[in-house]
Amino acid sequence: MINRRKFIQSSLTSGAAVPFASALRGLEAQAETGAKQFSWSESMAAGGGVLVTLPEREPARDMSSLPWHMRVRRVGQTNMTEHDPAVMNIEEWADFWHSAQADVVFVSVTGILAFYPSKVPFHKHGKFLNGRDFFGECVTAARKRGMRVVARMSPDLNWPDALAAHPEWAMRHRDGSVQHNGQEPRLFKTCMFSSYMDDYVPAIMREINSLYEVDCFYTNGWPPLGSLPDCHCAICSKLPSSDTPAYWRIFTDRVLELWAKYDAIAKEKNPESFFFANSGGNVRGGPNLARLGETAKWFQADNQGRTWEEPEVWGCSLQGRVCNAVLDGKFAANVTAAYSTGSPGWRNLSKSAEETRMWLNETLASGMAPYLHFVGAEGGAGLDLRWQDLGKEYFRWTAKHDRHFANRRSIANIGVVIGQSTQLLYSGPATARTRHYMRETTQGIYDALLWRRFAFDFVHEDRLEPERIARYRALVLPNVAMLSDRQCQQLRDYVNAGGSLMGSFETSLYDENLKPRANFGLADVFGISKAGEAVGTNGNPYYAWIEQENAARAHAILAGFADTRWLPGAENRVPLNPIADPLLTVVPGFVRYPPELAYPPVPHTTEPAVVLRDKGAGRTAWFSGDVERTYWLTGHGDLLRLIHNTLRWLTRDERMVIVEGPGFVEMFCWETDPGYAVHLLNYTNPNTHHGWLRSVVSQGPQQVRMNLPSGVRVKTVDLLRSEVSLPFKMNGQDLRFTIPSLDDYEVAAVTIT
């Protein structure tokens, strides 16, 4: 068992932020002197929580010593079509991105259509190229204006002549037939395990290196995002099934093998060059994100806009939190599509300005570099130029305030473990869950955290070392079903060291190979034991019975439930064995219709619906049901309150930053080079969960409080979007200021002396 003091000390010496370590020392001092402990009821009455001191600031960085890509602040791309060589004015193209102050532009090489007179076999020339060096002209124009160039390739598809000569390059269905592109059936899908990736792609890279001065190489369309490829070619048919943990590990190994190979080729001409590939997929990802984060110099978050599967407006922010979880401050850019994303979508037509702007806002707020993207440069009366003014204005605005977007680290005291393996592999016959199941779970906890404006980070399951997680007062495990013995031990050590933990439903019930355990891997940590297999819903889900007769004097997580003995349960639960003095017990589900039978045949049981434990300075909370997902499906206010109350109890209502005011708002706080930056994203809108934003619903004053480290003094507080300076008050180290109004986005930049 790890010693708590040594655990905390290890994080201090590693330079990790550990605000709760200070709180632990304070609690210990109070216990030793007999001082009165903090009252939860007082916190509830105050409404704002307990403001803890921010961690000591990290050392200043020498920005000039960083690699060039770490200094990139704006990225532009006109995604070129086959027809563009016939219609695109290259000088106007370069002038636009230069006027928008783009630091780097993507220029198409592609593996489907060559935009230069390529001699690589099967690198087909576009029918409008006519021997022209379109790519070379674009590179020259960009470099003349001081912009760097990324050579963009797409190795995921190729043409029939390549298939005829190399049938082994194709992805195959189970029956052996070739997998073709769904929209253009002439194109076949290439297999990443074939020699196509080992021979053909390197040939193009070396040809580009021999002819042009490019700064780095990028592959679009590979690796796949959010899912694993399902191929049955001669090579892949010998691999484990594509829906298994064993395949995922092999898939990740292959991605990183090719990544290293391509990176070495990029450096053959220029040691400062590098390779990077399509990334993103938010919490599902593709390859193991923790391993990818160790390799990637540039994380390309290809999260272009809302989709029918991910219709929530905060999808870009969620992606940014994933990047922050795995990159340790490395560069990430999110691809914002100015065109009409969705299904159906219009690839050459602008979406609403409000929606595009919000996606860019989220990119900045979550710590990524803004990257604007449109498809094609068609001329004539049909040209849609509406996105250009928006892009130019937005990029120029960010350029005025670049120093405030140079983030050092996130300020947060709650970590949400994203469980990438569960996100990718939990669905299927082993669990009878659908692919959407974990998406709903993730959105449920995300939505709940936003409503209370908690300061939180994502944490990757493979990055649970003490020096990484000791900074968090609490970790949340939203049905992280797959956890290895090692990961369970890391979480056990975290709790023994004074951290708090919240888990739900089937968390830790499966190991890293999706093999079910007889009991939860974290059973001893939460004080629970499994009493049966998962139970679903037929009619009414189960109810949670409040055991205390007077909820007004009951446990803190029941605050606000004085006039009811019943609370909603979750759609699914894993039955637990009885515990001593349960707070909430299960009333089994019963029919909803006909109403004559809508009453509980079994009105009371000893089966706990929630299990709470105090473990020294830390606390644990376990929900037997999938409460986060059920909240997302229903929007039930009681479930939201229960989740909020539980998180406040787990953290002793400690807050890193307090922002109070009207509206549904996402909050980020960053330690920056000049000081601190509080980002507020206003999602109060009828189109928050569907469609595009078409207007802004402004919100009233937002009151901000921060407790700065000892010795830190504030020089100014400036609103970057409104471009005004704010009055502020300092009481010791307690900083307070008010943002008068909030449109779609605001950044409060605190500059310190």
Q: Measured between alpha carbons, how far is 738 from 693 in angstroms, rounded to an integer? A: 26
Q: Measured between alpha carbons, how far is 320 from 357 in angstroms, rounded to an integer? A: 16
Q: Which ranges in the chain are annotated with CATH 2.60.40.1180?
A: 658-752
Spatial contact of 660 and 667, defined as CB atoms under 8 Å apart: no
Place of tokens 């499906």: 633
Q: Which ranges in the chain are annotated with CATH 3.40.50?
A: 4-37+412-529+608-655
Q: Measured between alpha carbons, how far is 48 from 657 in angstroms, rounded to an integer? A: 10
Q: Measured between alpha carbons, how far is 170 from 161 in angstroms, rounded to an integer? A: 12
Q: Measured between alpha carbons, how far is 178 from 195 in angstroms, rounded to an integer? A: 16
Residue 255 C-alpha from the chain's centroid: 21
Task: Tell me the residue type at 672.
Answer: T
pLDDT for 365: 98
Residue of 456, 467, 507, 454 lying closest to 620 (CA atoms)? 507
Question: pTM of the prediction?
Answer: 0.92
Q: pLDDT tens-digit profile of 138-178? A: 999 999 999 999 999 999 999 999 999 999 999 999 999 99
> Which residues are registered as beta bridge partners of 557?
none
Is the preceding omega at residue 594 within 30 degrees of 0, hence cis?
yes
Q: Measured between alpha carbons, how far is 256 from 273 in angstroms, rounded to an integer? A: 17
Q: pLDDT tens-digit profile of 432-467? A: 788 789 999 999 999 999 999 999 999 999 999 999
Q: Which parts of the chain have pLDDT scores under 70?
A: 1-47, 379-382, 428-430, 550-553
pLDDT for 62: 86
Q: Measured between alpha carbons, how far is 728 from 414 in angstroms, rounded to an integer? A: 27
What contacts 113, CB < 8 A, 6 or more positions away? 82, 124, 125, 126, 129
Q: Measured between alpha carbons, how far is 38 from 507 in angstroms, rounded to an integer? A: 31
Is the preceding omega at residue 19 within 30 degrees of 0, hence cis?
no
Q: Measured between alpha carbons, how far is 749 from 370 in angstroms, rounded to an integer? A: 18
Q: Which CATH architecture has domain 658-752?
A: Sandwich (2.60)
| Inter-helix orientation angle 90-99/386-400, to 10° | 40
How does DSSP classify residue 242? Answer: T
As given in the structure block, the two tokens for residue 379 are 């001329």
| Inter-helix orientation angle 627-634/435-452, to 10° | 80
Q: Measured between alpha carbons, how far is 103 from 142 in angstroms, rounded to an integer? A: 10
pLDDT for 710: 95
Task: Just give the CATH number of 4-37+412-529+608-655.
Answer: 3.40.50
Q: Measured between alpha carbons, how far is 467 from 12 in angstroms, rounded to an integer? A: 8
Where residue 457 falls (left for φ over 0; alpha for ψ -120 to 50; beta otherwise) is beta
Alpha helices (H) along 402-548 = 420-425, 435-452, 466-469, 485-496, 523-526
How does DSSP classify residue 381? Answer: T
Determine whether 741 is exposed, middle or buried from the number of CB atoms within 10 Å of its CB (0-12, 13-18, 19+).
middle
CA–CA–CA angle 499, 500, 502 (5° rounding): 145
pLDDT for 552: 56
Segment (H or E) for 216: strand 216-219
Spatial contact of 125 and 113, defined as CB atoms under 8 Å apart: yes
Spatial contact of 425 and 449, defined as CB atoms under 8 Å apart: no
pLDDT for 611: 98
pLDDT for 44: 33
Is the preceding omega at residue 578 within 30 degrees of 0, hence cis?
no
As given in the structure block, the two tokens for residue 652 are 């002793």
pLDDT for 381: 52
Spatial contact of 491 and 38, defined as CB atoms under 8 Å apart: no
Residue of 253, 252, 267, 264 lying closest to 215 (CA atoms)? 267
